[in-house]
Amino acid sequence: MLNCDISARKNEAISQGIGMMTQIYADRAQNSEIWDVEGNRYIDFSSGIAVLNTGHRHPKVIAAVKEQLDKFTHTCHQVLPYENYVRLAERLNAIVPGNFEKKTVFVSTGAEAVENAVKIARASTGRNAIIAFSGGFHGRTFMGMSLTGKVAPYKLGFGSMLNDIFHAPFPVPLHGVTVEDSLAAIETLFKADVDPSRVAAIILEPIQGEGGFYEAPPAFLEKLRELCDRHGILLIADEVQTGFARTGKMFAMNHHAVAADITTMAKSLAGGFPLAAVTGRKEIMDAPKPGGLGGTYGGNPLGIAAAHAVLDVIEDEQLCERANSLGKKLKQRLEKLRNAVPEMVDIRGPGFMNAVEFNDVKTGLPSAEFANAVRMNAQKQGLILLTCGVHGNVIRFLAPITIQDEVFNEALDILENAMQHASSEAGKK
């Protein structure tokens, strides 16, 4: 079986709306390595877009799911509940940032978590409006699209977005947007577009994922918390991509002195199995009436079992500490390449949620072309990378935190070679 043959079948069978970064068809995987249908080996620095912080098929996760398979696979928790759903909610209530009593609900995807966070915020406050940020990504549902601060490809051709959604610029000093600029833009919204007494919540990613791995400055989150408290607005932290040890702490908000009222999470929560959650202040989470939240597959028993194992692995294998160690090594290696690769304009990210941004040397403008050249050069050598950013000029690094040291070192060698090759080719143009 060949990748190209499957790709031809894909073109006939699957909507082109499903964008694909590679035409490498996976056959098997273990920890940080994937083998395709042709037997080629790749090092995975994508983790299914931050889903596999504990790696492909971690033995403890697989064992937990197999044990659950022998009991039952589905009942719908709203019909016949099960204890491990309750116990996982208790664990999340204990570890999600915020020194207050919490409650949790489980759904299936990150977009669902965001949708439900907005529903809960509206039910709790009796208000409708939501403020989000440029560059933010919150899913592909209509609410998710409306909140997302990037048009292409997420909003193209899908018509009008939902009402009462407003956007402010996210503070990115590298691109000339300061904390003061962002806060001033929100105040302008209050004066020109929406009365703050109508705003139910402000939602943001503590570190933007698809938007380019830009970290919200501590001062910004502190001021945002003050603003929300002043106007009775809830603060929602979208931790779908940042959660579960990726940033060197369990959640990105653990890096800050303030807490969100509601936290959404998904991706690495269940180590590759579909599971998402919304955790928030007890009184806020209880605002919807019985039956207002939930879903047929929300909190599927297999995902719940996997999530328990993921939390155990993070603690037992000290993955927060390992994320900090791996990220430090990666950024040090990239720093050594600054002279050889002048296209690099920034290296960033806490823990192992790291990124490098590229500009064209001649124009000084963001260069998606260069970032893609690095990605393709690395792929040819067996390393899978992902690009991101509003301009597509950022490469984000999302390898499993459990990656073997020797495989990690091999990946860094490939990355260095790919970046130097891309820079050399760019210099010839």
Structure tokens at 13: 């069978």
- Domain 72-316 bears CATH identifier 3.40.640.10: yes
Structure tokens at 320: 């927060």
* Residue 74 CB neighbours (<10 A): 12
Residue 102 has pLDDT above 80, yes or no: yes
Q: 98 in the Ramachandran plot: left (φ > 0), alpha (ψ -120 to 50) or beta?
A: left
d(CA 192, CA 189): 5
Mean pLDDT of 335-356: 97
Q: Which residues face 28 on adjacent strands? A: 35
Let me know how long the chain is: 429
Q: How confident is the model at residue 428 (pLDDT cuts 50, 70, 90)?
A: confident
pLDDT at 366 (0 to 100): 97
Domain boundaries of the chain, sorted by first residue: 3-57+318-427, 72-316
Mean pLDDT of 164-187: 97
Is 353 within 8 Å of 327 (Cβ atoms)? yes
Going by C-beta distance under 8 Å and a sequence separation of 6 or more, which residues neighbour residue 90?
A: none
- The backbone torsions φ and ψ at residue 418, rounded to the nearest 5 degrees and listed phi first, read -65, -40
Mean pLDDT of 414-428: 94
- Write the DSSP symbol of residue 393: -
Distances in Å between the Cα of 16 and the Cα atoms of 10, 11, 23, 62, 161 are 9, 7, 13, 33, 22
pLDDT at 152 (0 to 100): 87
- Domain 3-57+318-427 bears CATH identifier 3.90.1150.10: yes
Mean pLDDT of 401-410: 98
Residue 315 has pLDDT above 90, yes or no: yes
Hey, which residues are catalytic here?
A: 137, 238, 267
pLDDT averaged over every residue in the chain:
97
pLDDT at 429 (0 to 100): 75
Distance of CA 265 to the CA centre of its chain: 9
CB-facing half-sphere around the CA of 153: CA atoms within 13 A: 7
Pairing assessment for the beta strands 383-384 and 199-204 based on DSSP bridges:
unpaired
Which residue is associated with the tokens 């719940």? 304
Residue range 68-95, pLDDT digits in tens: 999 999 999 999 999 999 999 999 999 9
Residue 427 has pLDDT above 90, yes or no: no
Q: Whole-prediction pTM value? A: 0.97
Distances in Å between the Cα of 353 and the Cα atoms of 213, 261, 415, 425 are 8, 24, 16, 28
Structure tokens at 207: 């570190």
* Residue 39 CB neighbours (<10 A): 7
